[in-house]
Structure formats: structure tokens, C-alpha cells
Structure 1
């Protein structure tokens, strides 16, 4: 799949999907959030082929989500650390996990999240940054943004947002 084609679509979902919408990339991010930083740890945990893991790590580094740093020189071995942009994906990964726990975990969640601040088990929700209310499709409206445009990948969406039909 040509992931670069998503970068030109005037849609943040498309652009983000081009970077992280791959099961192995998301699992690498999950493991980095869990504190696994070394290539060997990631490979052992994920059970993924070395070429696949190397490719996903390269993509995450190229996208600015992860940095690679040598921790050993002979032979050279690297660890991988999340950048600020990578850390910003935490909510996305745990929201995806919460959805999977709800819809795809018949025996219960494989992992439980505990909020260290209050000590309680928690389930991630997407909330309004102003009032704290949960954001649901029924309670959110969308308006045109400054970066939106009528183009491939957003043609019908742009028409609905602006109320105008073109070509």
C-alpha cells in the first residue's frame, strides 16, 4: 500500500492513517508506551519478523514519532524512544484498546488501565477540552477548518461542510 498518497489528502484522519494505521506500527507504539524500548524486546514481545519490525520502526522514525539512539557500540544496538508527537498518540492507542476491549475481548480486557493520580481503574474516553464532557458522534458538530479544501479524498465531505457542490 502506498502510504505517501494519504499525505496529500486534505484530511487529518487520512494523513495520520498514512503514518500509523498499520497493526504492526500500532503494536510497536503500544509496546513503547509500555516501556519496551530495545529492538530485541520489541521483536520478542511482538513475535514479528525482523524485516517487518525494522520497516515499522524506520517509518515511525521517519514520521518523527520515534527517535533511534545507540545504547551499545560493539555491536551497535539501538533503543527507540517516543518523541513528543509519539507521546501525543497515547490517547489514540488507549482509545483503540478500549474499543477492542468492549467489542473484541470476549474473555475480558487483556490489560487494565489504572489512573496513577487517583488510583482507580479507568476506561479511556474522548472528552471535550473545555467542559470535560464525553465526545460522541451524536453530540459533536463539524465546521469547515482553515486547512480544508475540496480535493480527492475529501470531495463529498467538503461539499457537506461548505454546503456547495462542485464538479
Structure 2
């Protein structure tokens, strides 16, 4: 089955998935946040074939999520380091982690826990806040489509009222 590119659509979620939406890429990024930098470390952590890992690393470098850097103590070898664009995926991985903690594990089932280095305490839940500091949920937001951006602001107010 041929994959359809979403790189030209106006939806930011679709474009993000087009770049980093496959599970191997997200797991590579997760491991990079955990300090893994070398090809063999990624392969050992993920249990992934060399061919798939090579392709995913090459893609993540090509879209500037990872960059290669020489390993100072080992001649021609290189390591993979998150770029700013890659580090900006941290909230995405934390949000996905917290969603999975809520919906993919049984109550008594053990799983890894994200903790703060300084205190050793669990990282608090992420939440979306409005301009007034109050927590927002999906019913309190709407997506203003790109075709509506040139229209008067009444469009957004009318859609919010229709919810």
C-alpha cells in the first residue's frame, strides 16, 4: 500500500504526522530524549532491524529533527543528537506518554514514570490553559480553518456558538 503524503495539507496535525508519525521515528526520538545517541544503542533499545533504523535515522536527519556529530573518542563514527526542532517534540512525547498511562495500562500494571531530575518526583500532568490561566478542554476550543483566516472574526464566534 502506497503512503499518501500529507505534506501539502493545511492541517498542522496532518503535517506533523507526515514528518514523524510512524512509531519507529517516535521511539527513536523518545530514546534520544533518554540519552541514546549511537546507532548500536538505538538498535539494542528498540530491537529494530539495521535497515529500518538506518532509514528512520536518515529521515529524521533530513527533516532536521536529529543531526549527526562525530564521536570524539572513536575515529569515523558518529552519534545522533536532537536539534532544536527535535527537542521541541518533548511536550508531544510527554503528552503521548501521559495519554498512554491513562488509557493503555491496567490499574495495577507497572510502567515507566517520567520524573524530575532535581527532585526525583513525578512530572505533573500537562494541561492546556487559556489566556486567563484556566484549563481548557476540547469543548472550549475550535479550529479556525485556513480558508476562514481571511474572513471576518465573526466566523470563529459563529462556529463556537454552534458547538
What TM-score, normalized by structure 1, do the two folds share?
A: 0.77
Q: Is the 8 A contact 2:144 2:156 kept in 1?
A: no
Q: Give ranges in structure 2 of 5+ residues lacking alignment.
A: 149-154
RCO comparison, higher one (Cα < 8 Å, 6+): 1
CA distance in 2, matches of 1:25, 1:116: 25
Whether the 8 Å contact between 2:6 and 2:18 is mirrored in structure 1 is: yes
Shift in Å, 1:4: 7.1
CA contact 1:127–1:134 (8 Å) conserved in 2: yes
CA drift of 1:115 comes to 3.1
Name the SS of the counterpart of 1:120 in structure 2.
coil
Q: 2 CA distance for matches of 1:161 and 1:16?
A: 27
Matched, 1:16 2:11: no
- Answer yes or no: is the 8 Å Cα contact 2:130–2:136 preserved in 1: no
Assess, with a 3 A threshold, how the Cα gap between structure 1 residues 58 and 47 changes in structure 2: closer, same or farther.
same
What is the aligned partner in structure 2 of residue 58 from structure 1? 58
Q: Hey, what does 2:29 align to over in structure 1? A: 29
Q: CA deviation at 1:10?
A: 1.0
1:111 paired residue number: 112
1:142 Cα shift?
2.8
Question: Which residue of structure 1 aligns with residue 137 of structure 2?
Answer: 136
Pairwise CA distance, 1:72: 5.9
- SS of the aligned residue for 1:92 comes to helix
Considering only aligned residues, what root-mean-square deviation do their CA atoms show, in Å? 2.9
Give secondary structure in 1 for the equivalent of 2:5.
helix
Cα distance in 1, alignment partners of residues 133 and 32 from structure 2: 28
Note the 1:1-167 alignment, pairs <5 A: 5-71=5-71, 76-106=76-106, 107-108=108-109, 110-116=111-117, 119-128=120-129, 130-144=131-145, 148-149=146-147
Structure 2 CA distance for partners of 1:120 and 1:73, relative to 1, 3 Å: closer
Q: Distance in 1 between matches of 2:138 and 2:71?
A: 45
Tell me if the contact between 1:70 and 1:79 (Cα under 8 Å) persists in the aligned partners: yes
The whole-number CA distance in structure 2 between the counterparts of 1:125 and 1:115 is 14
